[in-house]
A = this chain, B = another copy of it.
């Protein structure tokens, strides 16, 4: 399955042009230009493309080609900020080749992934003359800032977006080079907890009579989970849907790489000493509360005998079907009140995202797995869900469509970090796998 030179050249030039646009959504940079460029790329492939405004960055929508089943691609044209710039070995907005890798901000997430799909379509058309099925694209410009307008967009356009299958924005091989398929994403809701015990910081000798906000917040946080990570909020697990047999089987089929992962992260042992099935179950199928930050009082060198007036912590909950982000915040509030923490304020930081999962027995999942097996010559590893989050729910919910995530990245891609990169060989194999999946979808 060697890529034709025309496809390789097309991909390289298209990717070079696309990463040169610094479309950083958090900084509001170059978003209309990137949307326009993406629209032109879709039109070059013979699709009808439109730029749909939203309250934030516009969505690039496209549709076209043959009748029959419809495949929808979800991608995004925005990227993470490039800083810290000094840690980049080459300019983040200039695609640079070194030792068989391409480097640039967005070279993986998500411009590389997007271009791999365009290249696969181009190749398919060159080889088969035309697309014998329908194609749609939803390419947003706010994924890196939490997709605040995407759910409303999908809901509003759900008839027009109707499709039989969705390919999600990203994908990767594992450390051993085996292809991965993700069939779901966890939901997320992020909150801040705040405690104030006095009007201003006091001398720490007053800690004999004045409550300490760090103690209060620590006690509140300690009450949320046990040492193994089990969440102690009453009702937290009530809406969790048990795994299907197919989902259980998928966990058992994952080769246990937990020891290698522990070594990579410098972790002595995982929560609950999890490994194997239990390790992957926690990552994919267990909801969890995570504390992202805690700040209060003095943090400099040595000691400062201060009694801080306030403390805050930032948390995210990672959710699984059928947990509701807003309900989890309510349960948290109820838990805090019940345990005497009514002095702990809860502020929701983002509206949150629902968890989403595709049926592992859907034809589209099976077609994808077959395409990967044939392309890579090794058994694909199917994950019922990533441990991460994203706006997959509007697609599974409003369109009722199975969604799979496959792509061109690898565990060293440094997504969101300096020196983001992909391996060119991964890219080429990823294009071939997507083209093969399109053929399966077309019944070829």
A243 beta carbon closer than 8 Å to chain B: no
Give A311 to B218 CA distance when docked, in angstroms: 12
Write the nearest CB–CB distance from A229 to chain B, whole angstroms.
7
A100 beta carbon closer than 8 Å to chain B: no
Give A283 to B208 CA distance when docked, in angstroms: 5
Q: Kindly report which residue of chain B lies nearest to residue A287, judged by CB atoms.
A: B208
On whether the beta carbons of A219 and B211 are closer than 8 Å, the reply is: no
Binary per-residue interface labels of chain A (189-217) against chain B in the complex, 1 for a CB within 8 Å, 0 otherwise: 01010000111111111111111101101
Q: With contacts A146-B303, A293-B308 known, is A271 near B350, CB below 8 A? A: no
Residues from chain B with Cβ under 8 Å of A5 in the complex = none
Give A57 to B395 CA distance when docked, in angstroms: 67
On whether the beta carbons of A302 and B26 are closer than 8 Å, the reply is: yes
A349 beta carbon closer than 8 Å to chain B: yes
A288 beta carbon closer than 8 Å to chain B: yes
On whether the beta carbons of B282 and A303 are closer than 8 Å, the reply is: no
On whether the beta carbons of B198 and A267 are closer than 8 Å, the reply is: yes
On whether the beta carbons of A270 and B203 are closer than 8 Å, the reply is: no
Q: With contacts A26-B301, A190-B305 known, is A293 near B203, CB below 8 A? A: no
Give A206 to B279 CA distance when docked, in angstroms: 11
On whether the beta carbons of A271 and B215 are closer than 8 Å, the reply is: no
A247 beta carbon closer than 8 Å to chain B: no
On whether the beta carbons of A294 and B293 are closer than 8 Å, the reply is: no
Contact of A203 among B209, B210, B312, B416 (CB under 8 A): B416
Binary per-residue interface labels of chain A (205-237) against chain B in the complex, 1 for a CB within 8 Å, 0 otherwise: 111111110110111011001010100000000
Give A92 to B106 CA distance when docked, in angstroms: 47
Contact of A291 among B198, B212, B295 (CB under 8 A): B212
A36 beta carbon closer than 8 Å to chain B: no
On whether the beta carbons of A188 and B305 are closer than 8 Å, the reply is: yes
> Which of A200, A222, A296 gathers the greatest number of chain B CB atoms within 10 Å?
A222
Write the nearest CB–CB distance from A164 to chain B, whole angstroms.
28
Binary per-residue interface labels of chain A (392-420) against chain B in the complex, 1 for a CB within 8 Å, 0 otherwise: 00000000000000000000001111000
A304 beta carbon closer than 8 Å to chain B: yes
- A residues 309-332 with Cβ under 8 Å of B? 309, 311-314, 316, 318
Write the nearest CB–CB distance from A230 to chain B, whole angstroms.
11
Residues from chain B with Cβ under 8 Å of A23 in the complex = none
> Which of A215, A271, A286, A416 gathers the greatest number of chain B CB atoms within 10 Å?
A215
Contact of A218 among B221, B266, B318 (CB under 8 A): B221
On whether the beta carbons of B209 and A290 are closer than 8 Å, the reply is: no
Residues from chain B with Cβ under 8 Å of A309 in the complex = 266
On whether the beta carbons of B350 and A206 are closer than 8 Å, the reply is: no
Q: Kindly report which residue of chain B lies nearest to residue A224, judged by CB atoms.
A: B215
Contact of A214 among B210, B294, B387 (CB under 8 A): B294
Write the nearest CB–CB distance from A383 to chain B, whole angstroms.
12
On whether the beta carbons of A292 and B306 are closer than 8 Å, the reply is: yes
Residues from chain B with Cβ under 8 Å of A201 in the complex = 416-417
A253 beta carbon closer than 8 Å to chain B: no
Q: With contacts A201-B417, A222-B215 known, is A282 near B188, CB below 8 A? A: no
A35 beta carbon closer than 8 Å to chain B: no
Give A221 to B81 CA distance when docked, in angstroms: 31
A389 beta carbon closer than 8 Å to chain B: yes
Contact of A298 among B274, B292, B415 (CB under 8 A): B292
Q: Kindly report which residue of chain B lies nearest to residue A414, judged by CB atoms.
A: B200
Contact of A219 among B26, B227, B388 (CB under 8 A): B227
Q: List 16 other contacts, CB 8 Å, given A192-B303, A200-B266, A303-B316.
A: A146-B303, A186-B205, A190-B302, A198-B265, A207-B290, A208-B282, A209-B229, A209-B270, A209-B271, A209-B274, A209-B283, A215-B225, A215-B291, A227-B340, A303-B350, A305-B316
7 smallest CB-CB distances across A and B, nearest first, come from A199-B266, A207-B290, A293-B297, A205-B387, A190-B303, A218-B218, A293-B298
